[in-house]
Amino acid sequence: MYLPTFLERTSYGERETNPYSMLFDGRIVIIDRPVDDTTSNAVVAQLLCLEGMDPDNPIELYVNAAGGTLAATAAVYDTIQYVRCPVYTTCLGYIETPGALLVAAGEPGHRAMVPHARAVLHQPTIEPVRGTLPDLDRRATEVTRMRTFVEETLARHTRRDVDQVHADIDRELHLGADDALAYGLVDAVVPSRKRR
């Protein structure tokens, strides 16, 4: 991945920086790829660091994540719930279930989506596995446990019944921004941060 760098002039001289460092200085964290272990570890570290720097000021988390693993997503989700400072979430672009869980986990009243963003909710999937029958049975049990995690988490944050969420994610549920608002995944559709 190409990461542009530029020189910033400070009272101490010049320093080389990049957009992510500048965003971090503004208490902004971005997830711009599937939520895998590497992404999860980086986001968890940023959230904990920002909490340690100033536990009373909110953190803004922007999510544009097509997919990922639920184990990695659970680590970020738990950290959002764990830190003392509120985490405001915004969906940019496209999110699937892992990203949707993180957007929904944001501070109530501060979960947003831009007008042309999309969310796809679906049940957990597993990659093809090989092994003995007892091992395959254990994998099936784990997938069932993760589906329960997804359903209960979405139900909690959207204020929907778990059975309704179960039915909704049995097949892919595609939501535009207004649909996500009606579903309870977000609290607002924000077309612009410009003052009018």
The total domain count for the chain is 1
- pTM score, two decimals? 0.90
Residue 108 — φ and ψ, nearest 5°?
A: -55, 135
Mean pLDDT, residues 165-194 taken together: 96
Residue 134 lies in a domain: no
Rounded Cα distance between 21 and 150, Å, is 32
* Residue 170 confidence (pLDDT): 94
Query: Which residue segment(s) compose the domain that 177 sits in?
Result: 6-122+172-189
Q: Which two tokens stand for residue 158?
A: 């959207």
Residue 90 lies in a domain: yes
- At residue 136 the predicted structure's pLDDT band, cuts being 50, 70 and 90, is confident
- CATH number of 54's domain: 3.90.226.10
- 167 sits in which H/E element: helix 162-168
pLDDT in tens, 71-117: 999 999 999 999 999 999 999 999 999 999 999 999 999 999 999 99
Amino acid at 176: G
Write out 106-159 in H/E/C secondary structure. Answer: CCCCCEEECCCCEEEECCCCCCCCCCCHHHHHHHHHHHHHHHHHHHHHHHHHHC
- At residue 1 the predicted structure's pLDDT band, cuts being 50, 70 and 90, is low
Buried b (16+ CB within 10 A) or exposed e, 97-121: bbbbbbbbbbbeebbbbbeebbbbb
Residue 147 lies in a domain: no
* Residue 26 confidence (pLDDT): 93
Query: Helix or strand or coil: residue 164?
Result: helix
Pair type for strands 87-91 and 59-63: parallel
Residue 104 lies in a domain: yes
